[in-house]
Structure 1
Amino acid sequence: MDISLSQCFIAVDDHETAIPFYRDVLGLEVRNDIAYEGMRWVTVGSPSQPDVNIVLEPPIADPNATQADKDAAAQLLAKGLLRGVNFSTSDVDATFETIRAAGADVLQEPMDQFYGVRDCAFRDPAGNMLRFSQPRA
Protein backbone atom coordinates (compact mmCIF):
# COMPACT_ATOMS: atom_id res chain seq x y z
CA MET A 1 0.00 0.00 0.00
CA ASP A 2 1.34 3.44 -0.94
CA ILE A 3 -0.27 6.23 1.08
CA SER A 4 0.74 9.77 2.03
CA LEU A 5 -0.75 12.63 4.00
CA SER A 6 -2.82 15.03 1.94
CA GLN A 7 -4.76 17.16 4.45
CA CYS A 8 -5.28 17.67 8.13
CA PHE A 9 -7.83 19.91 9.79
CA ILE A 10 -7.53 22.52 12.54
CA ALA A 11 -10.60 24.12 14.10
CA VAL A 12 -10.44 27.90 14.37
CA ASP A 13 -12.99 30.28 15.78
CA ASP A 14 -11.74 33.37 13.93
CA HIS A 15 -10.16 33.05 10.49
CA GLU A 16 -9.14 36.72 10.50
CA THR A 17 -6.90 36.00 13.50
CA ALA A 18 -5.79 32.53 12.40
CA ILE A 19 -4.67 33.46 8.88
CA PRO A 20 -2.03 36.03 9.92
CA PHE A 21 -0.67 33.58 12.50
CA TYR A 22 -0.29 30.68 10.07
CA ARG A 23 0.81 32.89 7.16
CA ASP A 24 2.93 35.61 8.76
CA VAL A 25 4.27 33.91 11.90
CA LEU A 26 4.67 30.32 10.67
CA GLY A 27 5.42 31.24 7.05
CA LEU A 28 2.75 29.02 5.50
CA GLU A 29 1.13 30.04 2.25
CA VAL A 30 -2.62 30.53 1.88
CA ARG A 31 -3.75 28.17 -0.86
CA ASN A 32 -7.52 28.34 -0.78
CA ASP A 33 -10.27 30.33 0.91
CA ILE A 34 -13.79 28.94 0.55
CA ALA A 35 -17.04 30.20 2.06
CA TYR A 36 -20.14 27.99 2.15
CA GLU A 37 -23.42 28.31 4.05
CA GLY A 38 -22.05 30.89 6.47
CA MET A 39 -18.88 28.90 7.18
CA ARG A 40 -15.31 29.26 5.92
CA TRP A 41 -12.45 26.89 5.14
CA VAL A 42 -8.94 28.26 4.53
CA THR A 43 -6.19 25.97 3.29
CA VAL A 44 -2.58 26.72 4.24
CA GLY A 45 0.63 24.81 3.73
CA SER A 46 4.38 24.91 3.67
CA PRO A 47 5.93 26.02 0.37
CA SER A 48 8.32 23.07 0.74
CA GLN A 49 5.39 20.61 0.90
CA PRO A 50 3.00 21.53 -1.92
CA ASP A 51 1.02 18.29 -1.56
CA VAL A 52 0.27 18.66 2.17
CA ASN A 53 -2.47 21.01 3.31
CA ILE A 54 -3.75 22.21 6.67
CA VAL A 55 -7.40 23.22 6.50
CA LEU A 56 -8.50 25.88 8.98
CA GLU A 57 -12.14 24.98 9.49
CA PRO A 58 -15.03 26.01 11.76
CA PRO A 59 -15.17 24.17 15.11
CA ILE A 60 -18.38 22.52 13.86
CA ALA A 61 -18.59 22.27 10.09
CA ASP A 62 -22.29 21.50 10.00
CA PRO A 63 -24.85 24.17 9.07
CA ASN A 64 -27.50 22.16 10.93
CA ALA A 65 -25.61 21.91 14.23
CA THR A 66 -27.57 22.88 17.30
CA GLN A 67 -26.50 25.81 19.43
CA ALA A 68 -25.68 23.35 22.22
CA ASP A 69 -23.29 21.50 19.87
CA LYS A 70 -21.69 24.79 18.78
CA ASP A 71 -21.26 25.85 22.41
CA ALA A 72 -19.72 22.48 23.35
CA ALA A 73 -17.26 22.67 20.45
CA ALA A 74 -16.33 26.25 21.37
CA GLN A 75 -15.59 25.16 24.95
CA LEU A 76 -13.39 22.27 23.78
CA LEU A 77 -11.56 24.55 21.36
CA ALA A 78 -10.93 27.15 24.06
CA LYS A 79 -9.32 24.43 26.20
CA GLY A 80 -7.14 23.23 23.31
CA LEU A 81 -8.79 19.82 23.27
CA LEU A 82 -9.90 19.50 19.65
CA ARG A 83 -6.82 19.07 17.46
CA GLY A 84 -3.15 19.78 17.04
CA VAL A 85 -0.38 19.62 14.47
CA ASN A 86 3.24 18.57 14.81
CA PHE A 87 5.74 20.36 12.58
CA SER A 88 9.36 19.49 11.82
CA THR A 89 12.03 22.16 11.75
CA SER A 90 15.77 22.19 11.22
CA ASP A 91 16.33 24.54 14.21
CA VAL A 92 13.77 24.24 16.98
CA ASP A 93 15.41 26.93 19.12
CA ALA A 94 15.31 29.54 16.34
CA THR A 95 11.74 28.52 15.47
CA PHE A 96 10.77 28.89 19.11
CA GLU A 97 12.24 32.39 19.34
CA THR A 98 10.50 33.53 16.15
CA ILE A 99 7.10 32.28 17.25
CA ARG A 100 7.50 33.53 20.82
CA ALA A 101 8.57 36.97 19.56
CA ALA A 102 5.31 37.12 17.59
CA GLY A 103 3.40 36.77 20.87
CA ALA A 104 2.19 33.18 20.61
CA ASP A 105 1.11 31.41 23.80
CA VAL A 106 4.07 29.24 24.89
CA LEU A 107 3.17 25.79 26.23
CA GLN A 108 6.67 24.32 26.36
CA GLU A 109 10.08 25.86 25.81
CA PRO A 110 12.57 23.83 23.73
CA MET A 111 13.71 20.71 25.50
CA ASP A 112 15.34 17.39 24.68
CA GLN A 113 12.87 14.49 24.82
CA PHE A 114 13.79 10.92 25.72
CA TYR A 115 12.29 9.69 22.44
CA GLY A 116 14.95 11.40 20.32
CA VAL A 117 13.75 14.88 19.46
CA ARG A 118 14.17 18.41 20.74
CA ASP A 119 10.82 20.14 20.68
CA CYS A 120 8.67 23.02 21.86
CA ALA A 121 4.95 23.76 21.87
CA PHE A 122 2.59 26.70 21.44
CA ARG A 123 -1.12 27.37 21.21
CA ASP A 124 -2.40 28.99 18.04
CA PRO A 125 -4.86 31.91 18.41
CA ALA A 126 -7.79 29.45 18.62
CA GLY A 127 -6.15 27.33 21.33
CA ASN A 128 -4.89 24.38 19.24
CA MET A 129 -1.58 22.87 20.32
CA LEU A 130 1.23 23.13 17.77
CA ARG A 131 4.49 21.26 18.37
CA PHE A 132 7.77 21.93 16.57
CA SER A 133 10.54 19.35 16.68
CA GLN A 134 13.90 18.40 15.25
CA PRO A 135 15.81 15.15 15.62
CA ARG A 136 18.43 15.25 18.37
CA ALA A 137 21.99 14.91 17.19
Structure 2
Amino acid sequence: MRINMTSVLVDDQDKALKFYTEVLGFTTKHDIPMGEHRWITVVSPDEPDGTELVLEPDGHPAAKPFKQALTDDGIPFTSFAVGDVHAEFKRLSTLGVRFTMEPTDMGPVTVAVLDDTCGNLIQIAHQTG
Protein backbone atom coordinates (compact mmCIF):
# COMPACT_ATOMS: atom_id res chain seq x y z
CA MET A 1 0.00 0.00 0.00
CA ARG A 2 1.20 3.51 -0.76
CA ILE A 3 -0.18 7.03 -0.64
CA ASN A 4 -1.52 7.87 -4.09
CA MET A 5 -3.02 11.29 -3.44
CA THR A 6 -3.89 13.61 -0.61
CA SER A 7 -5.89 16.81 -0.46
CA VAL A 8 -5.49 20.35 0.75
CA LEU A 9 -8.74 22.29 1.23
CA VAL A 10 -8.63 25.59 -0.66
CA ASP A 11 -10.98 28.57 -0.72
CA ASP A 12 -10.29 29.42 -4.38
CA GLN A 13 -9.05 26.83 -6.86
CA ASP A 14 -7.67 29.36 -9.35
CA LYS A 15 -5.70 31.18 -6.65
CA ALA A 16 -4.53 27.86 -5.22
CA LEU A 17 -3.37 26.55 -8.59
CA LYS A 18 -1.40 29.72 -9.20
CA PHE A 19 0.21 29.63 -5.73
CA TYR A 20 1.03 25.93 -5.72
CA THR A 21 2.52 26.00 -9.24
CA GLU A 22 3.98 29.47 -9.78
CA VAL A 23 5.18 30.06 -6.21
CA LEU A 24 5.77 26.66 -4.62
CA GLY A 25 6.89 25.07 -7.89
CA PHE A 26 4.56 22.10 -8.25
CA THR A 27 3.40 20.98 -11.71
CA THR A 28 -0.24 20.62 -12.75
CA LYS A 29 -1.10 16.98 -13.37
CA HIS A 30 -4.90 17.22 -13.82
CA ASP A 31 -7.24 20.16 -14.30
CA ILE A 32 -10.64 18.73 -15.22
CA PRO A 33 -13.93 20.68 -15.09
CA MET A 34 -16.39 19.04 -12.67
CA GLY A 35 -19.42 21.31 -12.72
CA GLU A 36 -19.01 24.22 -10.33
CA HIS A 37 -15.46 23.15 -9.40
CA ARG A 38 -12.55 21.33 -11.02
CA TRP A 39 -10.53 18.21 -10.29
CA ILE A 40 -7.09 19.77 -9.91
CA THR A 41 -4.01 17.86 -8.85
CA VAL A 42 -0.41 18.97 -8.68
CA VAL A 43 2.78 16.95 -8.33
CA SER A 44 6.42 17.53 -7.63
CA PRO A 45 8.31 18.19 -10.88
CA ASP A 46 10.92 15.77 -9.50
CA GLU A 47 8.29 13.00 -9.21
CA PRO A 48 5.67 13.53 -11.94
CA ASP A 49 4.24 10.04 -11.28
CA GLY A 50 4.45 10.45 -7.50
CA THR A 51 1.86 11.43 -4.92
CA GLU A 52 -0.71 13.90 -6.24
CA LEU A 53 -1.96 16.82 -4.17
CA VAL A 54 -5.64 17.57 -4.81
CA LEU A 55 -6.56 21.25 -4.59
CA GLU A 56 -9.92 20.43 -3.04
CA PRO A 57 -12.65 23.09 -2.75
CA ASP A 58 -13.47 23.82 0.89
CA GLY A 59 -17.22 24.07 0.27
CA HIS A 60 -18.27 21.42 2.81
CA PRO A 61 -19.79 23.10 5.90
CA ALA A 62 -17.19 21.52 8.17
CA ALA A 63 -14.18 22.62 6.10
CA LYS A 64 -13.99 26.34 6.89
CA PRO A 65 -14.38 25.99 10.71
CA PHE A 66 -11.81 23.16 10.64
CA LYS A 67 -9.32 25.25 8.66
CA GLN A 68 -9.93 28.32 10.84
CA ALA A 69 -9.35 26.33 14.04
CA LEU A 70 -6.05 24.99 12.71
CA THR A 71 -4.79 28.40 11.56
CA ASP A 72 -5.93 30.07 14.79
CA ASP A 73 -3.84 27.53 16.71
CA GLY A 74 -0.90 27.84 14.29
CA ILE A 75 -1.15 24.19 13.20
CA PRO A 76 0.01 23.34 9.67
CA PHE A 77 -2.48 21.34 7.59
CA THR A 78 0.25 19.34 5.86
CA SER A 79 4.00 19.16 5.38
CA PHE A 80 6.18 19.22 2.28
CA ALA A 81 9.74 17.92 2.17
CA VAL A 82 12.42 20.28 0.87
CA GLY A 83 16.15 19.87 0.42
CA ASP A 84 17.03 22.91 2.54
CA VAL A 85 14.45 24.78 4.64
CA HIS A 86 16.67 27.87 4.96
CA ALA A 87 17.17 28.16 1.19
CA GLU A 88 13.48 27.55 0.48
CA PHE A 89 12.49 30.09 3.15
CA LYS A 90 14.73 32.67 1.46
CA ARG A 91 13.41 31.85 -2.04
CA LEU A 92 9.75 31.95 -0.99
CA SER A 93 10.17 35.06 1.16
CA THR A 94 11.62 36.84 -1.89
CA LEU A 95 8.43 35.87 -3.75
CA GLY A 96 6.31 37.48 -1.02
CA VAL A 97 5.23 34.34 0.82
CA ARG A 98 4.20 35.04 4.41
CA PHE A 99 5.70 32.73 7.00
CA THR A 100 4.16 32.23 10.43
CA MET A 101 7.27 30.41 11.63
CA GLU A 102 10.79 31.01 10.35
CA PRO A 103 13.18 28.07 9.95
CA THR A 104 13.47 26.35 13.29
CA ASP A 105 15.82 23.53 14.26
CA MET A 106 13.86 20.79 16.03
CA GLY A 107 16.56 18.19 16.54
CA PRO A 108 16.51 15.79 13.60
CA VAL A 109 14.39 18.12 11.46
CA THR A 110 14.32 21.79 10.49
CA VAL A 111 10.89 23.25 9.77
CA ALA A 112 9.21 26.50 8.75
CA VAL A 113 5.50 27.27 8.35
CA LEU A 114 3.96 29.33 5.54
CA ASP A 115 0.52 30.69 4.68
CA ASP A 116 -0.67 29.22 1.37
CA THR A 117 -3.03 32.20 0.74
CA CYS A 118 -5.94 29.72 0.49
CA GLY A 119 -6.73 29.32 4.18
CA ASN A 120 -4.01 26.87 5.22
CA LEU A 121 -0.73 26.84 7.04
CA ILE A 122 1.79 24.54 5.34
CA GLN A 123 4.98 23.24 6.91
CA ILE A 124 8.16 22.77 4.91
CA ALA A 125 10.74 20.46 6.44
CA HIS A 126 14.04 18.72 5.87
CA GLN A 127 15.79 16.03 7.86
CA THR A 128 18.99 17.26 9.45
CA GLY A 129 20.29 14.03 10.86
Q: Structure 1 length as normaliser, TM-score? A: 0.80
Q: CA deviation at 1:75?
A: 4.2
Q: CA deviation at 1:15?
A: 1.6
Q: Does 1:97 align with 2:97?
A: no
Q: CA deviation at 1:74?
A: 3.1
Q: CA deviation at 1:16?
A: 1.8
CA distance in 2, matches of 1:92, 1:27: 15
Residue equivalent to 1:52: 51
Q: How many aligned residue pairs are there?
A: 125
CA distance in 2, matches of 1:127, 1:97: 22
Conserved 8 A contact 1:44-1:55: yes
Q: Does 1:42 align with 2:40?
A: yes
Unmatched tracts of structure 2, length 5 or more: none
Letter in 1 for 2:30: N
Letter in 1 for 2:77: G
Q: Over the residues paired in the alignment, what is the CA RMSD in angstroms?
A: 2.1
What are the Cα deviations for residues 68-108 of structure 1, in whole angstroms up to 9, with x where unaligned?
A: x2xx5334435545972211111110101111222222111
Structure 1 window deviating more from structure 2 (36-45 vs 76-85): it is 76-85
SS where residue 126 of structure 1 aligns? Answer: coil
Unmatched tracts of structure 1, length 5 or more: 62-68
**Percent identical across equivalent pairs?**
29
Pairing partner for 2:63 from 73, 87, 94: 73
CA distance in 1, matches of 2:76, 2:104: 22
Conserved 8 A contact 1:77-1:127: yes
CA distance in 2, matches of 1:89, 1:80: 22
Q: Deviating runs (4+, > 4 A) in structure 1?
A: 78-83
Letter in 2 for 1:74: K
Q: Does 1:132 align with 2:128?
A: no
